[in-house]
Structure 1
Amino acid sequence: MSGGIGGLAYGILATGSGVSIYNAGSIVGTTAIQFGGGANTLTLAPGSSIQGQVLASGDDFLQLGGSSGNGVFDLSAIGVTQQYRGFSTFEVIGATWTVTGTYGQTNPWVLQAGTLNVGGDLSAASRLNVVGGMLMGTGTVGTMQVGAGAIFAPGSGAPGTSMTVSGNLVLQPGAIYQVQIDPSAASFATISGTATIAGTSVNAFYAPGSYVSKRYTILTAAGGVSGTFGSLVSTNLPANFHTSLSYDANDAYLNLYLNFTSPGLNGNQQAVGNALASFFNGSGGIPLLYSSLSAGGLTQASGESATGSQQATFDAMHQFMGVLTDPFMGRGNGFGGASAATGYADEDDQASAYAARRGADAFAMFTKAPPAAFVPRWNVWVAGFGGSQSTNGNATLGSNDTTSRIAGTAVGADYLISPNTLLGFALAGGGTSFSVNNLGTGRSDLFQAGAYVRHTEGPAYITAALAYGWQDITTDRTVTAAGIDRLRAEFNANAYSGRLEGGYRFVAPWTGGVGITPYAAGEFTTFDLPAYAERVISGLPTFALHYGSRSVTDPRTELGLRTDKSFLVQDGILTLRTRFAWAHDYNPTRLAAATFQALPGASFVVNGAALASDSALTTASLEMKWRNGWSAAATFEGEFSDITASYAGKGVRYAW
C-alpha cells in the first residue's frame, strides 16, 4: 500500500497464510500488522512508515524492496521484544537500503537484488548470502558468501573506507569484488576469519588526484587468504599505468606499475619514462603530474637543451686552435720572409720572387740570393674568428636539431727564435650561443689562452699548440607540460685542447705554380662540465633538473691537402689558398646525465644532436702582405656532412 492505515487497534490483521503485504506508505496501530497463518511476506519499500508492532507467525518473510529510491531500516527494531517480531527470513530484493543499528537475531539474510548498504552491525546473522545486487557499507557483517553476478563493494564508496566481516568470506566464480582507489588509499574488506577467493573479478575505480601509490591493500583476512582473483578491470586508470594483483598469507593487493609504452616513443622519451617508472616502482609513489606525461611532455622534461653547450664549446676551441696553428695565416713572416707561401715553406727573401708577375714563372726560381742574416724578432697580431653550426637531430634517439654560434677576438705575439722555428702565445675573448629546437637556449662568455710552436725543415713543417678555455654559461628552457615553468642554470666550465699537424709542400711543373701541401693532423678537446642545478625563474620546480658532472673528450684526425698561389701586386704579395680535407671525430656524441630535483634517484641520460663521425673540410683564404710589414688575411671555412653544416671565418688580421 502507498496510502495510510491508522486509528485502529490493528492496522492490518492478516489471519490467513501466504499473505503478502507491500508497504510504501504509513501504517499506524497499537499492533500495526499481525499475521495469523504461515509463509507470509511483508515487503517494505522506500517511504514506508510503520508505527506499532509487527507480529509475524514464526516462518514469515521480512523484505526490504521497492523498484527504486533509497530507504533506511533500523536493524535493532528486529527481535522478540522489538517492533518486528517472529520473522525467520530476511531478504533485500530491490531499491537501495541502508541498514543501521544492531541486528539481534541469528536468522540469515539474503541479498537478492538492489543495494544493501550496511551501516550498522549485522554480524549476529548466521550467514549473509549475496546472490544478486550489491553489498556495500562501513558496518559489520558475519560470515558471508558472494555468488555469481553479485557485487561486494566494501566501504562507503569512498577510497580508504572498509567493511568488517566478522567470520569467513567466500567469493565465488562470477562474483565481482569492487574497490574504490584514490592516490593514497583503496576501499577494502577486513575479515576476522578466512577469505576464500575462487576467480572472482576485481573492478577497480580510480578517483582523480595529484599523487599515485604503487600498492593498495584491497582485502585482509586474519585467518588467511586462499585462492586468487580472476580478471582485473580498471576504470579511470591514470595514463601510463598498468595493474596487477598479488597476495601474501593474509592480504590481497592491487599493484600499479608505471610504464611508458606508448607506440613510437624515441630514445630520450623512453629514458625519461624509464627513470620515472623506476622511481615509482622503487619508492611506491609519484605525483600524477609526472606519470601522465605525453610523448611531447617527456621530450620537454628531458632537458636536452643542456647538451647544446658541449658542441658550442668544441667548436669554439677548434676555431681557436685554427687561429693558433693555421699555416694560411702566415704569422711570423714579414714581406718576403720565411714561409711566404704556406707559413711553413722554408724560403728566404729572394724566394718571394715565386710570386711572379707571370703565372708561368711562379715557383720557377732555381737561383737564390745569398741567405739574409737572421734577426730574432717579435710579431704581434690580432684576429677575429667566429661561425655557426647546425646539426640535425636523430628521430630514433629523440635528439633535436641544434644550432650553435661563436664569436671571438684573439690577440697574440710570435717570437722567431730561429729562421725555422717560431714560438707564440695568444689570448682570446668572446661568446657562444646555442639553441635546441623549441626546447631551450644557452649562452656563454668565453675566455681562451693558448701557446703554439712551429718548425720547418725545407718544404716540410710541423706545428703544435695547446689551449685552455673558460666559460660562464647560462641555460634557459621553458616546460609547458603542466603550466608554464621557466628554468635557468648558471655555471662555469673548463675546456682543454691540443693539436699536432705536419705537412710537406711541393710545386709540380704541371700545377702552374700552385703549391700543394698534403698534411695530417691530430687534435683533441676535453670539456669538463661541473655538476649544476636549474632554478625556477617562474612557475613550479616540478621539472627542474640536476645535471651530473661530466668530462668528455673528442679526439679528431684530419687528412687533406692545402694549396696556395701568390701574386706580386703593388707594394706587396697577394696569396690565395684553399684546403680540402677529411676529418674524423672519434667521440661525436653529445649527452647529459640528469636527475629530477623533486624525485631523488629519478636519473636518466639524454642524447643531444650528435655530429657525423666523418665530415668534409673546405677552406678559402686571401692574404695580403705589404712591404712595410703589415698584413691582413681573411679565411672562410666550411665543415659538411649528411647531418652537419658548419660555416666559420677568421676575420681581418694585422701583423707587424
Structure 2
Amino acid sequence: MYSMKNGLKLLALTTALVVPSLIYLQNAHANSPSADEEYHADWGLDMINALPAYLKGYTGKGIVVAVIDSGLDINHPEYAGRVSPYLFNFGNDQDTNNVFPGIDDDGSFSGHGDHVAGTIGAGRNGFGMQGVAYDSILMPLRAIGIEGRNEDWVPDNQALIYAANNGAKVINGSYGPNTYPNKILPDGAINNNYAVLDYQPVFESIYQLKQTYHAMKHAADKDVVMVFAAGNSRLDQPGEYTEMPLGSGMYPLITRDYINNGKIRLVDIQADSFDPDDPNSYDFTDLNDPALDGLDFSDLKGSLIVVVSVDRHGNLAPYTNECGDAAEWCIAAPGGSMYVNEEDGIYSTWPQGDPTNNYLNYKYLQGTSMASPHVAGAAAVVRSAFPYMNARQTIETILTTTTKAGFADQDKFGQGLLNLGAAIDGPMAFRYTGVFDVDTKGYSSIWSNSISGIGDLTKRGDGILVLNGQNTYQGPTNIVGGSLEVNGSITSTTHVSQTGQLAGSGTVADLTLAQGGKVSPGSTLKPEQAIGTLTVNANFDQQAGSAYLAGLSANAGADQIIVNGTAQLNDQASLELVRQGAGRGSAAARYTLMTASGGVSGTYGSLNGSLISDTPFINFSLDYDANHVFLDSSRSDVAFADIADTHNQFATATALESQGEGGALYDHMLFLNEQEARQAYDQLSGEAYASIQSSLINNSAYTRSATYDQLSRGFAKGLRTSETYQSQPNFWAHGFGEWSKQSGNSNAAATKTSLGGFLSGIDMQAFDNWRWGVMAGYSHMNFRLNERMSSGKSDDYTIGTYAGTETSLAQGTLAFRSGLAYSWHNIDMNRNVAFAGFDDKLTADYKAGTFQIYGELGYKHQANEKIAIEPYANLAYVHLQTDAFTEKDRNGAALNVHKSSMDTVLSSIGLRVSAELNQEVIPVKARADIAWRHAFADVTPVSKAQFAGADAFAINGTTIGRNTALISAGLDFQLEKNALLGISYQGQFGSGITQNGVNAKLNIKF
C-alpha cells in the first residue's frame, strides 16, 4: 500500500519539527554561573525547575528511554555506559545493530536523534551539557528518515512495538507528518495554490491510522509513557490547522464524531490529482464510508503526553502547534524560538565528526522536537522517583504539577509549563476516578503536594505512602494494603480494610475501620515522630476485626485519636499497644488514647499488642468515660532481677531496683523488654573494672620471666670461651610485646589486650656464690571488652630486686632464683553505655598497684657439650590493689567504684632446654621452655560499685586461667665477648586464654 508517511518524516527532521540555528562554538558560557556551567548549558533545565529533583537524588537512574528518531552516535562521550544493548536500526541501509545517523548528500549528518537523546539523557560528567534524566538508559531506535525493511509496517510503528517489548519505560517521539500546503515550495518558488486551512488534513489511509493506533495501544498496554512533539506547522498554517497538535499526539481525538465535525479531514492520497501543496486537489474520505465505522482512538487518552514549545522567556514559540482540543494531555516545555541568536535555541549533543558542524559535538536547535525530550527526560526522572507508579499515574503526575502562572491559556499551553521540581513531590490533582489505584509494591514514598480534583485514591500493596498536603480531592480514600500516612489533611471519607493501615498526625474526614483495617497515629517513617495525634473531623466507626494500634513511648507519651464527632467501638474490635521507644518513664501513669466530642460508644473487646508482651515491668489496663478512652499503667510484680540470666546481670539488676522510682536508671528500665533489659545490665555493670585486674596479674609474669632468665644467664658460661663471668657486673635490658585474648564465659565478656614495654637492671656477685641485682621498667597496656563497649589503657612503672645462687649437685647444678617487685598502674577507662532509650559516655582515671614475691628451683644438667636441660618449679604470690574512684558521666550512669584487692598464687612446673648451634663467627644458642601453670586463691576478679542512690553490688570479671601451658622458644647471639643479644617467642594457652608475645634482651658484662 502506498504511503507518504516515511518520506514526510524525513523532511520533518530538517524543516517541520526542527528549526536549525547557526553553528555555535561552545566555550564556557559567559552568562552561566561558574559553579555549574554544565547544568546551565541547557537553559531549559532551569525553566522546568529540574534542580530540586536532583537535590533529592532523582536523576532517572536505570530508567530506559527509547528514542525513536534518526539514529545515535553511541560513541559520543555524553552517553558513555548508558546505551541499551537493545538498540536497533529499522532501515534497510545499515545492519540492524548500526544506529549511526545517515549522512545527507551535502555531507551533513542526520543528527536530530542525537540532539533529542542529549536533551533526554546526556551525562553529568563535567563537560558539555547534561540531559534532564542524566542517569537514564538510552535505547536508540533508528526509524525516522529511512526506508524500512518491512513494506507492511512503517518503521516508527515497528519501533514503538519493539521498544515496549524490550524494557522501555518512556518513549520519545520527536517526529510526525509534514505541514501542507506550504507557502514556499521545495524548489524555492512561491506556492500559488497556498491557502490557510480551517481544518487539519490527515495524509494517511485508514489502514495506516489503525496501524499506528495498534502500535501505540501496544505500548500503552505495556505500561510505557509515550511523549510526542506537537509539530511546527504554525508558520505555514496559522489558523485552525495548528490549533491542535499534529501526528501521534492528536490520536486520542480521532473518533467518528470528531471526524464528522470537520476539524480533521482524511485525504485520499491515492487520487490521481493529489498534490499535498494544492488543497484544491484534496479528495476527502466519504463520511459515510463503512471503513470509518468503529474508528475510535479515544482510549489512548491517558497513555501519552503531547508537547508544545515555548521560548526561554515563556512565550509560545511562533512555529509550534497549539494544544487546542488535546489540552487534556498537552503540556508546554522549552523548545527555543525562531530568532537567529543561537542561545535562544536548545543546546544539545550532535554526532561527532560532522564537517558541516565544524566537527563539534554539540549544536543549537529549535522546535517541538526539542521540547518533547525535556518532557520525556522528566518522565524518566518521575518514574525513578515513584517506581511503583504505572504509566498513567506518571503522566497524571506530570500533567497536574505544571506551572500555571503565565501558562494558564489551555488552548495554547494545555495543562501548563512542565515543572519537574513539583512533579517529584507527587500529583496535584486526581482528574479522573480510578486512576490513582496505587500499589506501592513495598516502596516508601512521600507526596507533599496538595491534591484536588474529582478523583479518588486507593492505596494497596506493601509499603508506605505519605500525604503531606492539604488534600481536597472529592473521591473516597480506600486503604486496602500497606500504610497510608496522612500528615496533612483529607476532606473526603476514608475507609480502611483488608491489610491496610491509616497512620499520621494529620486530619481525615469520616473514618471507617472495617475487617482487617488498622489505624496507627504518628509517623511510620520517622521514629522521632512515631507518637502522634490523628484527627477525625467527623465520625469514627471501628468495626469488628479491626484494630487501633496505639503507640506508647516512655519519653513522648501515647498516640491519640481526636474525633470531632462520635466514636463507635465494636466489642469485636481490638486495641493493640505498640511500644514506640523506650526511655525514661513512670510506672504509674494515665494516657488518653481517644477523645470524641460527640461521645464514645462501646468498648474494645481485647487489649493486647507488643507493648504488653515486651514490657514485663509494667501492667496496662483500659478505662472509659463518656468521651474518652484511657490507658492506665502500673508497676508489675516482675523484679528487674527476675529476668537476669547471669550473676553479673542479677547483681546489676538488684542494684538498679534499689535505686527506686525517680532514679534516672530505674526509670529507664521500666519500658525495656527482656532482651533489652539484659543488655542494659551488661552495659551498666562496669565489668571492665573487674576484668582488667586479671590482665594486670597476667602481665606480672613478664617481670618474673625476665629475672629468672637473667639469673640463669648470670651464672652461665660465655659462648666463646669456657670462662665464667660471675664476678663481673652485668647490665641487661629486656623488651617485650604481647597480644592476648582471655575468652569470656556465660557471665563475663572476653578481654583483649596488647602490651609493650621494657625492663632493665644490673646485677653482680654477692657473697661467694650468689648474684644480686636491681631492676626498673615501664610498660603500656591497651585493653578492650567489645561486648561491653569498654576500653582503656594502663601505664605501668615497675621496680624490683632479685637474687639467686647455683650449687653443684651430683651430675648437675641446683639453681635457686627469687625476686620481689612492685608496679604502679595509672589506668584510664572509657565506657559507652547504650541500650534502648538511653546512652551515656563514661570515663575514669584511677591508680592500682601490684606487689609480687616469687621464687624458682631448678636442676641443670649438661646432656653433652652442646645441650643442657633444666627441669624446674616456681611459685609466685601476686597482690593487686586498686583505688576507689567515681566515673564521670553525662546522663547518670556513673559508678562509684570501691577499693579492691586480689591475692593470687601462681605455680609452674616445666622444662628448659638449650643447645649451642655454632661456635664460629657468631656463636648461637637455641632455647626452649615448656611448662604447666596453675593458678589458685583469687582467680576470679571482683569489682564492687554502686550507682547514685542505689545499693552496692559486686561484679565478676574474666577469670585468670587456672591451668595453662606456657611455651617459649628463642635464640641467643653472642655479639662480643661481653655482649649477648636474645630474641624469643613466648605464649600462654589454655583455660580460655590465648597469649602470644615477642621478647628481646641485651646483656652486657662489664
Give the TM-score of the pair, scaled to structure 1.
Answer: 0.54
Instruction: Find out whether 1:280 has 2:655 as its counterpart.
Output: no
Could you say what secondary structure the match of 2:832 adopts? Answer: strand
Superposed displacement of residue 579, structure 1: 1.1
Say if 1:635 and 1:423 are closer, same or farther in 2 by CA, change over 3 A: same
- Answering whether residue 954 of structure 2 is matched by residue 596 of structure 1, we say no
Q: Which residue of 1 aligns with 2:670?
A: 291
1:92-241 alignment, distance < 5 Å = 210-212=584-586, 239-241=615-617
Aligned to 1:36: none
Structural mapping, 1:326-475, within 5 Å:
326=709, 330-331=713-714, 335=718, 350=722, 376-394=727-745, 396-397=746-747, 399-418=748-767, 420-438=769-787, 439-458=789-808, 459-475=813-829
Q: Tell me how far apart the structure 2 counterparts of residues 445 and 327 of structure 1 sit (CA, whole Å).
A: 24
Q: Secondary structure at the match of 1:570?
A: coil
Instruction: Name the CA shift for 1:288/1:627 in 2 (closer, same or farther; >3 Å).
Output: closer
Once residues 726 and 645 of structure 2 are traced to their aligned partners in structure 1, the CA distance between those partners, rounded to angstroms, is 68
1:551 aligns with 2:551: no
CA–CA distance in structure 2, aligned partners of residues 327 and 380 of structure 1 = 10
Structure-2 separation of matches of 1:628 and 1:209: 72
Equivalent position of 1:70 in the other structure: none
| Aligned mates of 2:682, 2:916 — CA distance in 1 | 54
Q: In structure 1, what is the equivalent of residue 871 of structure 2?
A: 518
Residues 839 and 891 of structure 2 are in contact (CA less than 8 Å); yes or no, is this contact kept in structure 1? no
In 2, the alpha carbon distance for the partners of 1:403 and 1:561 equals 29
State the alpha-carbon separation in 1 of the partners of residues 880 and 733 from structure 2: 26
Secondary structure at the residue paired with 2:729? strand
Q: Shift of the alpha carbon at 1:243?
A: 7.1
Closer, same or farther: CA 434–206 of 1 in aligned 2, 3 Å: closer
Deviation at 1:580, TM superposition (A): 1.3
Contact 2:585 2:670 in 1 (8 A): no
Q: CA RMSD in A?
A: 3.8
| Residue identity opposite 1:531 in structure 2 | A
Shift in alpha-carbon separation, 1:605–1:292, aligned structure 2, 3 A = farther
Q: Which residue pairs with 1:260 in the alignment? A: 640
- Contact residue 966 and residue 988 of structure 2 kept, 8 A: yes
Question: Counterpart of 1:534?
Answer: 887
Q: How far apart are residue 271 of structure 1 and its match?
A: 2.0
SS of the counterpart of 2:861?
Answer: coil
DSSP 3-state at the match of 1:653: strand
**Deviation of residue 560 (structure 1)?**
1.3
Match of 1:312 among 695, 699, 714: 695
- Aligned match of 1:496: 851
Q: In structure 2, what is the Cα distance between the partners aligned to 1:443 and 1:593?
A: 20
2-side partners of 1:285 and 1:645: how far apart?
40
Aligned-pair distance for 1:625?
2.4
Tell me which amino acid in the other structure corresponds to 2:964.
Answer: S
Equivalent AA in structure 2 for residue 277 of structure 1: E
Q: Which residue does 1:132 correspond to in 2? A: none
Distance 1:454 1:209 in 2: 63
CA contact (8 A) 1:312 1:433 kept: no
In structure 1, distance between residues paired with 2:659 and 2:1000: 52
Amino acid at match of 2:901: S
Aligned to 2:842: 487
Matched, 1:563 2:917: no
Letter in 1 for 2:645: L
**Equivalent residues of 1:307, 1:591 under 8 A apart:** yes
For structure 2, list consecutive stretches of 5 or more residues without a partner in the other structure: 1-553, 556-576, 591-606, 621-633
- Equivalent of residue 704 in structure 2, options 314, 321, 329: 321
1:179-236 CA distance string (max 9 Å, x none): xxx99xxxxxxxxxxxxxxxxxxxxx999994546999xxxxxxxxxxxxxxxx9997
Structure 1 pair 523–292 and aligned structure 2 pair: CA distance change class (3 A): farther
Aligned residues: 393
CA-to-aligned-CA distance 1:145-183 (integer Å, 9 cap, x gap): xxxxxxxxxxxxxxxxxxxxxxxxxxxxxxxxxxxxx99
Aligned mates of 1:618, 1:275 — CA distance in 2: 43
SS in 1 for 2:891: coil
Displacement of 1:493 in angstroms is: 1.2
Q: Deviations over 1:547-595 (max 9, x none)?
A: 1110001110001111111234225542111111110011321331121
Corresponding residue for residue 996 of structure 2: 647
Deviation at 1:255, TM superposition (A): 6.8
| Contact 2:644/2:653, CA 8 A, preserved across alignment | no
Whichever structure has more strand as a proportion of its residues is 1
User: Is the 1:334–1:625 contact (alpha carbons within 8 Å) kept by the matching residues of 2?
Assistant: no
| Alignment partner of 1:269 is 2:618 | no
For 2:583 and 2:977, locate their aligned partners in 1 and report how far apart those are by CA, in whole Å.
Answer: 80
CA deviation after TM superposition for structure 1 residue 413, in Å: 0.4
The structure in which a higher percent of residues are helix is 2
1:303 is aligned with what amino acid? G
Alpha carbons 2:796, 2:824 under 8 Å: kept = yes
Deviations 1:311-343 (A, max 9, x none): 331133211221112268613656259xxxxxx
Task: Give the aligned partner of residue 685 of structure 2.
Answer: 302
1:291/1:243 CA distance change after superposition, 3 Å: closer
1:588 is aligned with what amino acid? Answer: V
AA aligned opposite 1:289: H
CA distance 1:261–1:497, shift in 2 (3 Å): closer
Q: Deviations over 1:598-629 (max 9, x none)?
A: xx233322222223310111110211224520
| Alpha-carbon separation, structure 1, partners of 2:718 and 2:874 | 28
The alignment status of 1:620 with 2:974, answered yes or no, reads no
- Please list the CA deviations of residues 344-365 of structure 1 after superposition, one character each: whole Å capped at 9, or x if unmatched: xxxxx64x7xxxxxxxxxxxxx
Partners in 1 of 2:697 and 2:822 — Cα distance?
12
Counterpart of 2:984 in structure 1: which amino acid? T
- Larger relative contact order (C-alpha < 8 A, sep ≥ 6)? 1
Look up the equivalent residue of 2:867 and give its one-letter code.
V
SS in 2 for 1:601: coil
The change in CA–CA distance for 1:301 and 1:209 in structure 2 (over 3 A counts) is: closer
Contact 1:308–1:434 (CA under 8 A) maintained in structure 2: no
Q: Secondary structure at the match of 1:269?
A: helix
Deviations 1:409-449 (A, max 9, x none): 11210111256311011110121111002421010111001
In 2, the alpha carbon distance for the partners of 1:400 and 1:375 equals 48
Letter in 2 for 1:643: G
> Sequence identity of aligned pairs in percent?
21
CA distance in 2, matches of 1:499, 1:264: 41
